[in-house]
Amino acid sequence: MKELEVRTASSSYPVYIGEGIRKQAAAFLTSLNRPMTKILLVTDAEVDRLYGDDMYQLLSEKWPVKKVIVPSGEEAKSLEMYERIQTEAISFHMDRSSCMIAFGGGVTGDLAGFCAATFMRGIDFIQMPTTLLAHDSAVGGKVAVNHKLGKNLIGAFYQPKAVIYDTELLQTLPEQELRSGMAEVIKHALIADHVFLEQLLGLQTLNGLTSDDLNEMIYKGISIKSAVVHEDEKEEGIRAFLNFGHTLGHAIEAEYGYGQITHGDAVALGMQFALFVSEQAVGCRMDRKRLTEWLRGLGYPGTIRKDIETSVLSGRMMNDKKTRGGMIQFIVLKELGKAGDLMLSRDELENWLNKWRMEETA
């Protein structure tokens, strides 16, 4: 098992990473010395089908537990589902010493975390990620639900009390979900660790990744994110660099329709565009062709659907949380392993996006 501590301005908490460690969840939770009068276990339908009853039984041996099952997929991050979970918590007579556990992927973590942040003005919550993608979202305290006009627009910064990451659960992930999560691993390498990036570039396929491989990738990814969050908990500075690829990625997700493209595939498109801007506008030196061909070789898409107009995407990007006074903070690379930003107007953004789309379809 690997262990690290995330330190932020507001709190610090442990992250446990290892195969089969969900079976030690009661011991981990007890070691936190929190009251935990009751536990609301929030999980999605697919995770519940595979592991929900076992986790419920394990926790019920020590605490009063109620399990709430939400739909699988991005649609669960809605105000309607938020209200439902709050209703379940109130009906269960939870108090300020109770705890919510997010047992699922990034969607479950974001949703349950926002519910915990706002129930009685904030109760404890624990992240128990079940996907590779959630190695990014489970750490750092960003919790949110979506609005029909944009992703993650309603949320808070609210840190968990612990992250328990059982990598055995990744063995049941379909390949597209593994690929989706790997996009965030790649992002961390691109913005902060060129040596790690070179290691990843040796991967020609995601098939056959061992538990040791996944443990190491998750540990490195979380370590990078932890270092950034330590310096900038509430995205007032360098934490924005973690949005590399996400400005366009979120717009693509929304325009395709949630569930029609994975988060990782959308972010991979966003990263390819960001690499283009980094090279063309910032002068970042890299073998961009090698990077984009490698991404596509792993199965990521290389072009945006032709029926989606650039103006529509730019409109969505201008609704992004990173927009300031009509200018969007766009994250680029100054060099491989070192991120920076550009402030772009909508016209500039559209101009770069049109140039990149023309290159990719040539």
pLDDT tens by residue, the chain, 362 residues: 999 999 998 899 999 999 999 999 999 999 999 999 999 999 999 999 999 999 999 999 999 999 999 999 888 999 999 999 999 999 999 999 999 999 999 999 999 999 999 999 999 999 999 999 998 899 999 999 998 888 888 999 999 999 999 999 998 888 899 999 999 999 999 999 999 999 999 998 888 788 888 889 999 999 999 999 999 898 888 899 999 999 999 999 989 987 799 999 999 999 999 999 999 999 999 999 999 999 999 999 999 999 999 999 999 998 876 787 889 999 999 999 999 999 999 999 999 999 999 998 76
Q: Is 72 annotated as a binding residue?
A: yes
| Angstrom distance (rounded) from CA 52 to CA 50 | 6
Q: Is 151 annotated as a binding residue?
A: yes
Q: Is 310 annotated as a binding residue?
A: no
Q: Is 109 annotated as a binding residue?
A: yes
Amino acid identity of 255?
E
DSSP assignment of 241-258: GGGTTHHHHHHHHHHH-T
CA dihedral 126, 130, 136, 141 (to 10 degrees): -20
Q: Is 161 annotated as a binding residue?
A: no
Structural tokens at position 244 = 């590399």
Closest CA to 244 of 221, 269, 262, 227: 269
* pLDDT at residue 319 in the model: 81
Q: Is 289 annotated as a binding residue?
A: no
Q: Is 277 annotated as a binding residue?
A: no
Q: Is 110 annotated as a binding residue?
A: yes
Q: Is 73 annotated as a binding residue?
A: yes
| Angstrom distance (rounded) from CA 255 to CA 261 | 10
Structural tokens at position 85 = 């979970």
Q: Is 167 annotated as a binding residue?
A: no
Amino acid identity of 261?
I
| Angstrom distance (rounded) from CA 153 to CA 79 | 11
Q: Is 360 annotated as a binding residue?
A: no
Q: Is 131 annotated as a binding residue?
A: yes
* pLDDT at residue 362 in the model: 65
Q: Which domains does the chain have, with CATH numbers?
A: 2-172 (3.40.50.1970), 175-361 (1.20.1090.10)
* pLDDT at residue 305 in the model: 95
Closest CA to 54 of 70, 39, 41: 41
Q: Check if the beta carbon of residue 164 is closer than 8 Å to that of residue 31.
A: no
- Which positions ≥6 away from 262 have C-beta within 8 Å? 176, 177, 179, 180
Q: Is 107 annotated as a binding residue?
A: yes
Dihedral sign for Cα atoms in the order 278, 340, 225, 247: negative
Q: Is 232 annotated as a binding residue?
A: no
* pLDDT at residue 236 in the model: 80
